[in-house]
Structure 1
Amino acid sequence: MTEVAQQTEPLDDALPLGLGSLVWKYFGDNRMFLIGPRPAVLQNMLAELGQGVYDHSTFFADTAERLRRTIPPIFNTVYGSDDDNAGTRVRDFHHHVKGEMPGTDRRYHALDPDTYFWAHATFVEQIYYFADTFVKRLTPAEREQIWLESKTWYRRYGVSDRPMPATHAEFEQYWDAMMERVLVAHPSAKYGVGYVTKGFPKPKAVHPLVWRIVSPVFNPLAAFLTTGGLPPRARDLLNLPWSAQQERRYQRFAALWRSRPVNWLWDRLPMRVRYSGYAVKGYARG
């Protein structure tokens, strides 16, 4: 059963998005690529969401095209205004995504509040993980601010916010419960990380000769960022190889990015280098 909410304006229990917003500060930062496909993999580990991708998405036939269609409206939801954002369009993309769970009499629908909220939760959690790992250690107050801003973000979709935790502490409890008791190694998630051991398939837009030259460097780096960027529980469920030595390398890599010199240099680069084009437009609009 789906529940559609009409409220899209910030409420008293939330904080606005915009200049000064920590969601704006971190979500569009181009260093976000360092976390790999963490949110997408975790999304597909919820059985109902993974099945929707398996049954309805072009993810398997053309992963790059799926990303090109998905990413812009998400960014335009975050960096749009309260009156002009892509939230309800994102919601409406999912009206037809429904079906039956294999081997059961249960049905799934992408707009089921619990399913839809999980997708959003992975995007919010990626902000926490990215900032803490590659930028700076967030304070409790900053973590709470991000959470309250993310509530405004979620309400822009016009979907019931019934499953949404009230506070960051409650969100952490929700996240831990999902990690330990709900997520599974769905085929959609296993496909999404298959290149860790098999190598990344050649993108359709890349010439075979170019890919032959690039792939020996790209594939090990993609495997390192993907596997290192996943929670240990997800790595275990997906049977991804990861040693203590690799973990130490990953933590040194992350610490380098968090270091003062690197942050000092990054902050002095042009904004169009540091941020996605969607974020740059949002900041220019104010």
Structure 2
Amino acid sequence: MPQTGYFSDDSMLRRVMRKRAVGLTYGTRALVIGAVHPLLYVGTAENSQHRSTPYTRLALTGRLFEAVFLGTREEADRALAFTRRKHATVSGALPEDAGRAYPAGTRYSALDPNLMFMTMAFTFDSVEATHDLLVGRLTATERADLYQDFVRWAELFGMPRAAAPADHRSFRAEFDVYLASDLPHLTAEARLVGEYLSGQRVAHRLPLPTRGLTSGMALLIQGSLPPRVRELYRMPWDITDELAFRSLVAAVRAAHVTPPLLPRPLQPFLAGPSSALYRRLAVGEKRLVAAGKESMPGVDPRNYRERHAG
């Protein structure tokens, strides 16, 4: 008898996360938007071994999340245990001012319920946005169910239930107000990393087939960002960009029409786990670093204390 995971096959979470258009875009978008929260960004960067290999970290996070989204209980439990071990030691204080609300010395911890909720919030917001754009708009009932599934998902990682708003409508009101406020702030490093992740800045010239794919992904990520976030990144966006974005979105959505418009050999690509593609991303970055190249030129791999030692 096949093992089941923490979510049933007919749950909204599994139905949405099986869509590769979601699985391959939500994580990058969540990191780009999540970087505007200084405690989340600095807390992660200062306690990470992946400052010089950020795409490997993205791939690892994607695989851990997907194990809980789509895996068996055994696979999910391994991912959860690994994450808990890593988070147990993540705590500290901001080494420098990071906007009006976050002066130097502000404490952070991976076990802070509010920071756990904000991690969930950026993830859920990106899943909801990418599904609406690239697959099809969810109904109010589907949104409500998907939100409750994500609250349960965050609880599995240790978030207290009381840390999250009670329902989807309350979540949207709270999160949208937060993004529109003066609380979001990008540190210089967070802006630089976000520029690379969103494709606003390109580190290395890629061969044509890969270059076209990454350019398309960059357009989808940038176009899906709330205007307020693009403003924080000082990201140019004009009518030409908007029209190109809408055309690409329309093409991706058309592929999900029933019956699918893609040729039959390509149809299986629309759905299924994305972990194999995450692994390829990590392997490519490791080869780049092994060849003596920087994954994101200008991003110092050292933490604040190491940079200012002596």
> What TM-score bracket applies, with the shorter chain setting the length?
0.7 to 0.9
**Compared CA separation, residues 45 and 261, structure 1 to 2 (3 A):** closer
Structure 1 length normalisation: TM-score? 0.78
1:177 corresponds to:
177
Aligned match of 2:271: 274
Give the unaligned 5+ runs of structure 2.
1-5, 98-103, 277-310
Q: 2:154, 2:67 → 1: CA distance?
A: 13
The equivalent of 2:142 in structure 1 is 142
Q: Where do 4+ consecutive residues of structure 1 move more than 4 Å?
A: 81-84, 212-216, 260-263, 266-273
Among the aligned pairs, what percent are the same residue? 23
Determine whether 1:22 maps to 2:22.
no
**For 2:131 and 2:244, how far apart are their aligned partners in 1?**
19
Amino acid at match of 1:171: F
- Show structure 1 runs of 5+ residues with no match: 1-15, 203-210, 280-286
Q: Distance in 2 between matches of 1:118 and 1:274?
A: 28
Cα 1:266–1:150, aligned 2, differ >3 Å: closer, same or farther?
farther
The 5 A counterparts of 1:233-244 are: 233-244=228-239
> TM-score normalised to the size of structure 2?
0.72
1:111-163 deviation line (CA, Å, top 9, x unaligned): 21111211111221122112210111111111111112112211111232332
Partner residue, 1:73: 64
The one-letter code sitting in structure 2 at the alignment partner of 1:72 is R
* Partner AA of 1:53 in structure 2: T
Instruction: State how far apart, in whole Å, the 1-side matches of 2:19 and 2:59 are.
Output: 18
Tell me, yes or no, if the aligned pair for 2:195 and 2:233 is still in contact at 8 Å: no
Aligned-pair Cα RMSD in Å: 2.8
CA distance in 2, matches of 1:171, 1:80: 27
The 3-state SS of whatever aligns with 1:37 is helix
* 1:88–1:158 CA contact under 8 A, matched in 2: no
SS at match of 1:194: helix
- The offset of 1:28, in angstroms, is 3.3
Query: Aligned letter for 2:20?
Result: N
Asked if the contact 2:133/2:253 (under 8 Å) is kept, the reply is yes
Alpha-carbon offset, residue 100 of structure 1: 1.2
Greater displacement, 64-73 / 40-49 = 64-73
Q: 1:230 and 2:225 equivalent?
A: yes
Closer, same or farther: CA 266–27 of 1 in aligned 2, 3 Å: farther
Structure 1 residues 244-286: Cα deviation after superposition (integer angstroms, max 9, x where no partner): 221122122212322377553279656576211669xxxxxxx
Counterpart of 1:134 in structure 2: which amino acid? L
**Matched residue, 1:91:** 84
